[in-house]
Structure 1
Amino acid sequence: MAVLFCAMGLPLNAQDKSNTSFGKGLEVVALDSSFSMKFGLRFQTLYQGSLNVFSEKWDDQFLIRRARMKFDGFAYHPSLTYKVELGLSSRDISGGDVDEHSNTSRFIYDAVLKWQFSKNWSIWAGQTKLPGNRERVISSQKMQFVDRSLLNARFNIDRDAGIQLHHSANLGKRAVIKNILAISIGEGRNLTTDNIGGYDYTYRLEYLPFGEFTGKGDYFGSDLKRESTPKLSIAAAFDYNDGAAKQRGQLGSFVQDSDGNQFSTDLSTFFMDAHFKYNGFSFMGEYANKRSSEQVIVVLDDSSTLKYTTGNAINLQAGYLIDKSEWAVRYTHVNPDDLVYSNLKEETQYTLGYSRYIVGHSLKLQSDLSYIDKPLGDNLVSFRFQFEISF
């Protein structure tokens, strides 16, 4: 009891202070410099509503769109780094209630070790984003709009477990070329069963004719760094998923009939993209095309069907930053390659967005208004408003 009373007499205004700033996370380094760890936390609070133009019905909801914890640093030597990202919101961890995920939540997003074994070469091992379309590789914290485009929603190859080889080199006085080669399991994150199909192979090539962007600006939305000279990155990527078991390769449902019989087909995805920034103006354009080696339809006992997602899409977006505010526009068109065998439906989306960057992408307000044209369905008008905070 005496110890308790002594403790109660201690000052209550003691505080731990860290030599960091808002949005930069908390970092610790071992006294012997054998490892470091930086911890970050962020979440997005979203309101979204949509008006069915035909029925005039309004549907809306509030939700925590994303909530993530992230850990990164080096281990043993600065050339050996790691990243771990965990999802906390219901949207983050849903979709794991199948045998292939041991009927558990899929809360691990990234768990990857990176070794830079020479100046321009590094090898990654673990689960992380594949080098597919640029919009997917850009963090969901650092987007120009409330969320990614329909092109990304339908075609991206997301995360997978495997290895990646990264290389970069200078060409001439300013130009830079980057190459990434990945070999992965092909069925997405948090798989716990044996690989059903073959492996997945991804290659991405980037060319930056005017040199590197300021602060890695080719991989965040908006020209927050206000590039003093024009910066451009042009890229192409190709992904081949041998014996894809899911509708979109790494994403979608496993293509199984009501008796549990698994179907598969080879999926080939081609991406092209460009990102330009100069003096507050930014532009990003992407093209995606996904094809299957065989046409597959699975009819379930309830008469519903499972199909692979094949077709093509284009996304164009641009914005201009004035002080800490930005207006942006986006056009997206998605088109199936076959009306019978593709899981896609034709859609065209027109979007006007507004963002207020209070502390860059770490503290911001974003909203957008979209008109969605569906030739085979009811057209929609949607409105979204989101608050993002990242420590």
Structure 2
Amino acid sequence: MRNNLALVLLLFSFVVAAQEAPLALKSSKNKNDISSYYTSGKKLGITAKDSLFQVNIGVRIQSRFTYINVENEDPIVEGEVRRLRLKMDGFVYNPKFGYRVQLGFSAKDMAILGVDDNGNILMDGVFYYKATNKVTLAFGQATLPGNNQRIVSSSALEFTDRTINNSRFNLDRDFGLFVEYSNEKENQFCYNLVGALTTGEGRNWTKKSNDGVSLTGKVELYPFGVFVKDGSHFEADLMREKTPKLMVAGAFNQNNNAVRTQGQLGSLLYEARTMQSLFLDSMLKYNGWAAELSYMNRNSDKPITVNPKDITQTRFVYVGEGVDAQLSYVFQSNYQVAARYSTQKAAKSIENLAADANDMSLSVSKYVLSHKLKFQMEYSYGTLKFADDLEQKTWYARLQVEIGI
């Protein structure tokens, strides 16, 4: 933890130094004084005078207060910094050679479960090569091209968090090779193709590896052209699209010999399993209205694994399906109201081990500076239905503040 703290202080000092640099370019007798070539654009960054490298810096904090009421249990009050991220991107030698780094310092970002657990701060660490205007290759650790809401940054959601189905089925981050073919056009049919060949164990995997790999492919279709300012990668119609814009997408992943219950996420299985995941998405925006509809599915042969040392202990792949639907409207005042419904059903092979779930949420947001500075209030009501027909009801109310540069 001391090493993590030292790193944060070092990077914070770098940000402060950059902010104190002059906004206008000026000459300097010291040719190595790169702070003299600070550039102020859409991002906080530094570009070398000879243009051989560039560093852009971003910081975001997501703080929340939640009141949780679980049926037949005492209420819970939580206050936490849900996300604290430091982001850096830029290029070296030539803009064709880019990179992106993202570090997470909150407890849930680092997945710290106990006092003695190591901090797991690396979220993204990836090198990009822009081979042509349409083809980009990437190597490193990044988010897999799964369902669209998972690709949308957690800072760009119209609710305080992603759906219960994203929590259960998403692919998350992984290490490997990524390929993207972009054929985007403004006002006519166009498409994007994305593929990935990765290890399959998720981010920062340091335990024993196996011979399995994960294969992912995705296609995005835009019947009426792409959204304004890449609007398919943030929720809410903040741009107030002047004509209807629609995205329809499908993705498939096969994770061979996966050793975790959710592929790239979850606890360790007692025996490796191959699993397949399917994602279907649609997003529609027009004049302040935004609608999304998503379907997710995971399948695996023999999803239940047994501890060979104690046959009474089992761990299983969550196989099943889920559907998400949400609708929102942004007023001219930049207040927004949104409603969401999610349903999740476990497959018959695990119905005695996992509950079906339903979740309904209402959200009110105030966008002060788009998704960079916003205030959100959310109420969510959910039910879990078990195989014996017993139900457990849960609701929570939450206030969240997002700020970032």
**1:131 equivalent in structure 2:** 145
**1:38 equivalent in structure 2:** 56
Q: For the structure 1 residues 310 and 340, does the alpha-carbon distance in structure 2 shift closer, same or farther, using more than 3 Å as the test? A: closer
After superposing the two structures, state which structure 1 stretch, 264-273 or 338-347, moved more: 338-347
* 1:77 matched to 2:87: no
Q: Is the 8 A contact 1:307 1:342 kept in 2?
A: no
Aligned mate of 1:209, from 217, 220, 223: 223
CA RMSD of aligned residues (A): 2.2
Aligned mate of 1:321, from 313, 316, 330: 330
Aligned mate of 1:335, from 341, 345, 355: 345
Supply the AA of the counterpart residue of 2:278: F
Give identity over the alignment, percent: 31
**1:348 equivalent in structure 2:** 358
Q: Deviations over 1:12-57 (max 9, x none)?
A: xx95454647xx54110011000101011111111112222x4263
Following the alignment from structure 2 to structure 1, what is the Cα–Cα distance between the partners of residues 156 and 313?
Answer: 37
CA shift at 1:193, angstroms? 3.8
**2:72 equivalent in structure 1:** 55
SS in structure 2 opposite 1:245?
strand
CA shift at 1:382, angstroms? 1.1
Q: Which runs of 5+ in 1 are unaligned?
A: 1-13, 257-262
Aligned mate of 2:251, from 224, 237, 240: 237
Following the alignment from structure 2 to structure 1, what is the Cα–Cα distance between the partners of residues 246 and 351?
Answer: 38
Q: Is the 8 A contact 2:361 2:380 kept in 1?
A: yes
| Residue correspondence of structure 1 range 23-172 to structure 2 within 5 A | 24-52=42-70, 54-55=71-72, 57-95=74-112, 104-169=118-183
Runs (4+) of structure 1 exceeding 6 A deviation are: none
Q: Which runs of 5+ in 2 are unaligned?
A: 1-18, 24-38
* 1:190 matched to 2:198: no
Q: For the structure 1 residues 51 and 121, does the alpha-carbon distance in structure 2 shift closer, same or farther, using more than 3 Å as the test? A: same
Q: For the structure 1 residues 72 and 170, does the alpha-carbon distance in structure 2 shift closer, same or farther, using more than 3 Å as the test? A: closer
Q: For the structure 1 residues 339 and 242, does the alpha-carbon distance in structure 2 shift closer, same or farther, using more than 3 Å as the test? A: closer
Q: Is the 8 A contact 1:306 1:343 kept in 2?
A: no
Following the alignment from structure 2 to structure 1, what is the Cα–Cα distance between the partners of residues 186 and 231?
Answer: 21
Q: Deviations over 1:354-377 (max 9, x none)?
A: 111011101100111111021224
**1:312 equivalent in structure 2:** 321
Q: Is the 8 A contact 1:311 1:344 kept in 2?
A: no
Number of residues of Structure 1 aligned to a counterpart in Structure 2:
365
Q: Deviations over 1:120-166 (max 9, x none)?
A: 11111100000000000000110110000011000000000000110
**1:260 equivalent in structure 2:** none
**1:269 equivalent in structure 2:** 277
**1:291 equivalent in structure 2:** 299
Q: Deviations over 1:157-192 (max 9, x none)?
A: 000000011002268971111101100000000012
Q: Deviations over 1:35-92 (max 9, x none)?
A: 101011111111112222x426311210110000000011111111110000011111
**1:382 equivalent in structure 2:** 396
What is the TM-score normalised by the length of structure 1?
Answer: 0.88
